[in-house]
Amino acid sequence: MMFVILLELNARKEDQYADLERAIKALGDWSNRVKGQWLVQSRFPAAQIRDLLKPHIEAGDRLFVARLTGSWSATNMGTGFQEWMNRRSYETPPGRSGAR
């Protein structure tokens, strides 16, 4: 399943979020070509991704996780982005409901 993770990190300097970055990268294949936004292919549902990342943010930070269905469009995302997105799986794994 593909997810978009949106972050607004207000509490600290961005370079102090190394644990958050490692936690996001541990979720699966990822791309972060836009500041404050990550695309991640993960087996975890959105609520579990949120719960895994919450310990790495501060009270004043914002976190949003949403599943992508496969319908997307982009421009100026850099070399190889379209191919990377086209290789991702947008399907719910067998045995998962994809529930929130």
For domain 2-70, the CATH architecture is: 2-Layer Sandwich (3.30)
Q: 3-state SS of the chain: helix, strand, coil percent to 5?
A: 30, 25, 50
The whole-model pTM stands at 0.86
Give the tens place of pLDDT for each residue, 86-100: 999 898 877 665 554
> Residue 3 corresponds to which amino acid?
F
Give the tens place of pLDDT for each residue, 21-72: 999 999 999 999 999 999 999 999 999 999 999 999 988 899 999 999 988 9
68's CB contacts (< 8 A; 6+ apart) are: 2, 3, 4, 39, 90
Q: Region 1-19: what's the mean pLDDT? A: 83
pLDDT of residue 96: 60
Alpha-carbon torsion 18, 24, 28, 29, what sign? Answer: negative
pLDDT of residue 92: 81
**Cβ atoms of residues 5 and 65 within 8 Å:** yes
33's CB contacts (< 8 A; 6+ apart) are: 77, 78, 81
